[in-house]
Amino acid sequence: MPTIEAATSNASGDDGLWRAGWYRFAKALQSPNFGPRPAGAQTDLIVLHSISLPPGEYGGDAVQQLFANQLDWDAHPYFQSIRGLQVSSHFYVRRNGELWQFVSCDERAWHAGVSSWRGRENCNDDSIGIELEGLEGQPFDEAQYETLASLCAAIAQHYAIAFIAGHEHIAPGRKQDPGAGFDWQLLRGQLGWSPRMFPEQVLPL
């Protein structure tokens, strides 16, 4: 699958890890499914998702193909149920920890849909979306947490991140990912972030 170079080294916001919103340590494959963030938007939220295509099957390239609008809708019966879908995420973390990026974090990816968090609607406008290869409710692999933690830390160094939540939290009743199999306490311990940054639902009693 063809990849792109993130951006030139003299792009605005180049700090060694980031080039115009592209993360140095991710494999880059540009999605056409993005747009500009609204004027004045403050990117302060990370949203975690889970995805696998077909559901529960890992290791293929269908997710990358979906985000790049290159998925063969006839390749699997499940794909007919999402035929024509145009979505994207900023990042995708595979089971082995491999990291992909599809949209510059300076741009608006299409990952959240109808959503609300911290008193604001339309979370796509001011969030960074991270997809984890997995099935909602099922556990994730150690390598994914390692990549996710380092990625979140790098994002927070470059953007004013104040919150992190799951798709299930910003779109309750409509979405259920990453689900009960995701270990929020493990991630919080790896990051060392304040409990105030996390959804109340995932904090210990």
CATH number, domain with residue 181: 3.40.80.10
User: From CA 190, how far away is CA 5, in angstroms rounded?
Assistant: 30
Q: What is the pLDDT of residue 10?
A: 32
Residue 9 lies in a domain: no
Residue 60 lies in a domain: yes
**Is residue 5 annotated as a catalytic residue, yes or no?**
no
The average pLDDT across 8-36 equals 83
Q: pLDDT of 149-162, one tens digit each? A: 999 999 999 999 99
Residue 2 lies in a domain: no
φ/ψ region of 176 (left if φ > 0, alpha if ψ in -120 to 50, else beta) reads alpha
Residue 76 lies in a domain: yes
Number of domains into which the chain is organized: 1
Q: What is the pLDDT of residue 4?
A: 39
Q: Which residue is catalytic, options 57, 131, 133, 142?
A: 131
Instruction: For CA atoms 179, 61, 91, 154, give the dihedral sign.
Output: positive
Which distant-in-sequence residues (6+ apart) come within 8 Å of 96 by Cβ? 141, 143
Q: What is the pLDDT of residue 205?
A: 63
Give residue 205's identity as a one-letter amino acid code.
Answer: L
Residue 117 lies in a domain: yes
Residue 1 lies in a domain: no
User: From CA 165, how far away is CA 91, in angstroms rounded?
Assistant: 15
User: From CA 120, how far away is CA 135, in angstroms rounded?
Assistant: 28
Pairing between strand 27-28 and 99-101?
parallel
Q: pLDDT of 69-86, one tens digit each? A: 999 999 999 999 999 999
CA distances from 69 to 1, 30, 43, 80 (A): 12, 10, 25, 14
User: From CA 192, how far away is CA 204, in angstroms rounded?
Assistant: 15
Residues across the chain: 205
Residue 122 lies in a domain: yes
Mean predicted lDDT score pLDDT of the chain:
93
The average pLDDT across 159-183 equals 97
Q: Which domain holds residue 27?
A: 18-202
pTM over 0.85: yes
Q: What is the pLDDT of residue 199?
A: 97
Q: What is the pLDDT of residue 204?
A: 86
Burial group, residue 174, by CB count within 10 angstroms (0-12, 13-18, 19+): exposed
